[in-house]
């Protein structure tokens, strides 16, 4: 509940931006179904703020609506948390009662068993006395004083006295052998397999990795690029395989291998002279790039045609390539970014939004709202 109170305090102090950032992180960390709603609120607030920074008069009611939506999400999360706590308490209480009941039942069974054993002792002693008396009477009547030939001892072997319940999880424990007797005992062990689902972002679907001093970016077609903190490409790798938690990358020119391990949150390095060791700490992982990291966006232009927006390295310039553009490529200037989008200006009264959350290329004229133009197919 501490994080919820922090978010409420930010709202009370008018620190809406801090409140939204905490909310997005919180819903992501708890894998809340409200995460998408929180991300949308983040985008709405950043668009509101950007317009305000550009000098466009913004309605305070829009800001209040965003803040009320944040509080509604928190209220729902709090209610769900309280209900979960009640359910856990009820389960623990029921379990304690069952354990107490089972303990009492076991005590009664042991007591009954001991009582039966005690009552059977006199009967056994009586039978033993009768057998001894009969044996003495028999030898007394033989009276010759000679040894009675008994013959070779009979050795009886009982094999296959097996207790084998039919289950799929049998574990043979021991075979107990005595002279003339072999008894095989089998103990059944019930195993429980817990199915742990993979994390939302895992080795099978990760495509963008942020580490201490840079990034690893999947460029498609098996190509990965290592970039520095300013997104400048430094090395190229080929993807050789994946498993649940790792991607296996190789730079054959340098004979270098990288293995981002999402389980240990480490990037492992090895080469021809170096055994695998930790190279970097992983900070964040994504199934696709977001607005903060994107360098190229490909869109469907219709009739199987593709267009793209690509950032010119180390500049704020973006170029649009489109088979139907007369003066291609068309040039844009990056004016802003948020978590999911990049905003471009063409210098002629139009603004473009590369929206990677809704997977749309959007356009708007000055003073109007954004409208969808194309569908995004890939982003790098």
* Residue 49, phi then psi, degrees to nearest 5: -70, -40
Closest CA to 290 of 42, 6, 49, 27: 42
Q: Is the pLDDT of residue 33 over 70?
A: yes
Check residues 209 and 14 and name the one with the higher pLDDT: 209
What is the C-alpha to C-alpha distance for residues 169 and 188, in angstroms, rounded to an integer?
7
Query: What is the pLDDT of the chain when averaged over all its residues?
Result: 75
CB atoms closer than 10 angstroms to residue 116: 9
Check residues 49 and 142 and name the one with the higher pLDDT: 49
Query: What is the biggest distance separating any 2 CA atoms in the chain, rounded to whole angstroms?
Result: 136
Report the pLDDT averaged over residues 286-313. 82
| 3-state SS, one letter per residue, for the chain | CHHHHHHHHHHHCCCHHHHHHHHHHHHHHCCCCCHHHHHHHHHHHHHHHHHHHCCCCCCHHHHHHHHHHHHHHHHHHHHHHHHHHHHHHHHHHHHHHHHHHHHHHHHHHHHHHHHHHHHHHHHHHHHHHHHHHHHHHHHHHHCCCCCCCCCCCCCCCCCCEEECCCCCCEEEEEEEEECCEEEEEEEECCCCCCCCCCCCCCCCCCCEEEECCEEEEEEECCEEEEEECCCCEEEEEEEEEECCCEEEEEECCCCEEEEEECCCCEEEEEECCEEEEEEEEEEEEECCCCCCCCCEEEEEEECCEEEEEEECCCCCEEEEECCCCCCCCEEEEEEEECCCEEEEECCCCEEEEEECCCCEEEEEECCCCCEEEEEEEEEC
| CB contact at 8 A, 217 and 380 | yes
Please give the share of the chain, as a percent, with pLDDT higher than 90. Answer: 20
Residue with token string 């679907």? 205
End-to-end CA distance of the chain: 37
Report the pLDDT averaged over residues 244-273. 95
Q: Which long-range contacts (CB under 8 A, 24 or more apart) does 219-228 make?
A: 219/380, 220/378, 220/380, 224/249, 226/258
pLDDT score at 357: 81
| CB contact at 8 A, 214 and 226 | yes
pTM more than 0.75:
no
Q: What is the pLDDT of residues 168-184, one digit of tens each?
A: 444 343 333 444 444 44
What is the C-alpha to C-alpha distance for residues 260 and 279, in angstroms, rounded to an integer?
10
Give the C-alpha distances (Å, rounded to integers) separating 120 from 108, 115, 157, 328. 19, 9, 30, 104
pLDDT score at 80: 67
Q: What is the pLDDT of residues 102-155, one digit of tens each?
A: 666 655 555 555 555 555 555 666 666 666 665 555 444 444 443 333 333 333
pLDDT score at 160: 44
């Amino acid at each position: 509940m501490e994080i919820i109170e922090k978010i409420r305090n930010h709202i009370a102090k008018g620190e809406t931006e801090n409140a939204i950032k905490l909310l997005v992180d919180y819903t992501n960390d708890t894998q809340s179904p409200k995460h998408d709603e929180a991300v949308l609120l983040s985008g709405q607030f950043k668009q509101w703020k950007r317009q305000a920074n550009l000098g466009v008069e913004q309605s305070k009611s829009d800001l209040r609506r965003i803040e009320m939506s944040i509080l509604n999400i928190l209220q729902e999360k709090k209610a769900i948390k309280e209900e979960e706590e009640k359910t856990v308490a009820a389960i623990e209480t029921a379990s304690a009662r069952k354990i107490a009941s089972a303990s009492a039942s076991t005590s009664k069974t042991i007591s009954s068993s001991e009582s039966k054993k005690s009552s059977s002792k006199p009967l056994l002693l009586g039978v033993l006395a009768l057998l001894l008396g009969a044996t003495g009477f028999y030898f007394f009547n033989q009276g010759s004083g000679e040894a009675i030939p008994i013959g070779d001892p009979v050795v009886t072997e009982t094999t296959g006295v097996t207790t084998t319940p039919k289950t799929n999880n049998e574990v043979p424990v021991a075979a107990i052998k005595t002279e003339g007797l072999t008894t095989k005992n089998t103990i059944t062990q019930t195993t429980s397999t817990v199915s742990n689902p993979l994390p939302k972002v895992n080795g099978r679907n990760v495509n963008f990795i942020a580490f201490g001093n840079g990034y690893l970016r999947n460029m498609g077609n098996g190509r990965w690029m290592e970039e520095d903190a300013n997104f400048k490409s430094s090395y190229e790798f080929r993807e050789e395989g994946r498993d649940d938690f790792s991607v296996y990358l190789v730079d054959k020119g340098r004979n270098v291998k990288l293995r981002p391990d999402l389980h240990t949150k480490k990037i492992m390095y090895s080469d021809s002279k170096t055994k695998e060791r930790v190279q970097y700490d992983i900070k964040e992982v994504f199934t696709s790039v977001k607005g903060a990291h994107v360098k190229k966006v490909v869109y469907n232009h219709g009739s199987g045609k593709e267009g793209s927006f690509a950032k010119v390295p180390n500049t704020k310039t973006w170029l649009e390539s489109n088979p139907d553009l007369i003066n291609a490529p068309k040039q844009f200037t990056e004016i802003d970014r948020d978590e999911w989008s990049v905003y471009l200006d063409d210098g002629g009264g139009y603004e473009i939004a590369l929206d990677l959350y809704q997977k749309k290329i959007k356009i708007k004229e000055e003073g109007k709202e954004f409208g969808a133009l194309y569908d995004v197919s890939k982003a790098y």
